[in-house]
Amino acid sequence: ILTDIKTVLFSDSRMFPSPNTAISSIQIISDDVLLFLTGPVSTVLIPSFYSLVLISVPINFCALLAFAWRIRPKKPAAIYMMNLACADLFFGILLPFKISYHFRGNDWVFGPFMCRVVTAAFYWNMYCSVLLIACISVDRLLGVVYPINSLTWRTPRNSIIACVTMWILSFAGSVPLVLSEQTHHITALNITTCHDVQVIDDLIWKYRIYFVTLCCALFLLPLLVTVVSYARVIWCLSRVAAGVPGRSRRRTRAVVMSVTVLVMFVLCFAPTNCLLLAHYLQFHEGMKENQQQDPNGSYVAYLVFLCLGSLNCLLDPLVYYFGSSQCRKQLSSFLRCENIRAGKSISHSPPDAGPAAEPDAQKAPE
């Protein structure tokens, strides 16, 4: 989600009174930050990219409907993916708020509470997706490596419990963002930012500890679980005897699934979380060295990679297809129905002129 937006840092080039603090206090914001808030990266490039990601809304809506009403019975993999589609759909629904915010020159007009909700939703979606993908990888590991012994564990009931747990963990991780102030009025630009500008003490003592803990607990650990699980699945399938029917197909699907998931982590989640850590650590070092280091660059890079992170909403349907045999069967059945309907439409179309239409009519029953 994924997340989302990060705090921008303060330096010492422009000073003006802050309406959000005491009259004696002063806002100190660098020219680089002011330039970024009004520049094309944050006001054109980022919202344009988010607008493209809106394509994921109808895709995930259709996927959610398919998982909820078309797939019977619901196997563990289908349950995990239904929850993943739900998380992506919720993220896409809130995305227009971010798009409007950036297109308006980083000016938030939807109120402080909505800013907190949207900010928290970005992080919540990112870490909820990471945790659910880790669950899918563990389910694949149990199904392939321990197909008999895992039958008592791989039940719909346990899958639902696991999904509820992942939702609670990701929601708990984003609660501090809902409870803390996220909007700040920038007098120099006459705009109200949402999460992009924060009080310097919050950056050092609150957000630094919070985001470092969040990245380690909800990203690095699930990443390790996912990589180990899929590596074990591929190793197990490679040991299957050559004469076993379906060996090549199963192994190919497992490899494609593994590559897809790892690409999602590398493209969508790894840069965002690594830059998030670097931003706060670099900011802390820069403060100790009297601003000799400028961490603004890491924050700008973070926002750009955050856009790439939203691609997970478009890549997740690949996980649905390669990770669930039920999903593949439903898609194949849907495509066959469309082909049959197209054939019937051709066969029932009125003939153009006598004998010339007869050959087409004879081909229709095939």
Residue 291's CATH number: 1.20.1070.10
Supply the pLDDT for residue 234. 82
| Burial class of residue 22, CB neighbours in 10 A (0-12, 13-18, 19+) | exposed
Q: Cα torsion for 251, 253, 259, 263, to the nearest 10°? A: -170
- What CA–CA distance (Å, rounded) separates 169 from 217? 10
Supply the pLDDT for residue 360. 42
Q: Does residue 366 sit within a domain?
A: no
* Structural domain count of the chain: 1
Supply the pLDDT for residue 326. 62
Mean pLDDT score, 147-170: 93
Q: Does residue 362 sit within a domain?
A: no
Q: Does residue 5 sit within a domain?
A: no
**Span 112-157, pLDDT tens digits:** 999 999 999 989 988 999 999 999 899 989 988 898 888 898 999 9
**Span 15-41, pLDDT tens digits:** 344 444 443 345 666 777 788 888 898
Question: Which position has the token pair 């937006």?
Answer: 5
Q: Does residue 349 sit within a domain?
A: no
Q: Three-class SS of residue 353?
A: coil
**Would you say 215 and 273 are in contact if contact means Cβ atoms under 8 Å apart?**
yes
Residue 101 has pLDDT above 90, yes or no: yes
**Would you say 214 and 272 are in contact if contact means Cβ atoms under 8 Å apart?**
no
Range of the domain at 186: 14-338
Who has greater pLDDT, 8 or 132?
A: 132
Average pLDDT across the chain, whole number: 77
Tokens of 210: 């919070």
- Percent of the chain whose predicted confidence (pLDDT) is above 90: 29
Q: Does residue 355 sit within a domain?
A: no
- What CA–CA distance (Å, rounded) separates 295 from 280? 8
Q: Does residue 95 sit within a domain?
A: yes
Q: Does residue 343 sit within a domain?
A: no
Q: Say which residues have a Cβ less than 8 Å from residue 108's Cβ, sequence separation at least 6.
A: 101, 115, 183, 191, 192, 193, 194
**Span 194-225, pLDDT tens digits:** 988 877 666 666 777 888 888 889 999 999 99
Q: Three-class SS of residue 63?
A: helix
Q: Does residue 290 sit within a domain?
A: yes
> DSSP secondary-structure letter at 186?
E
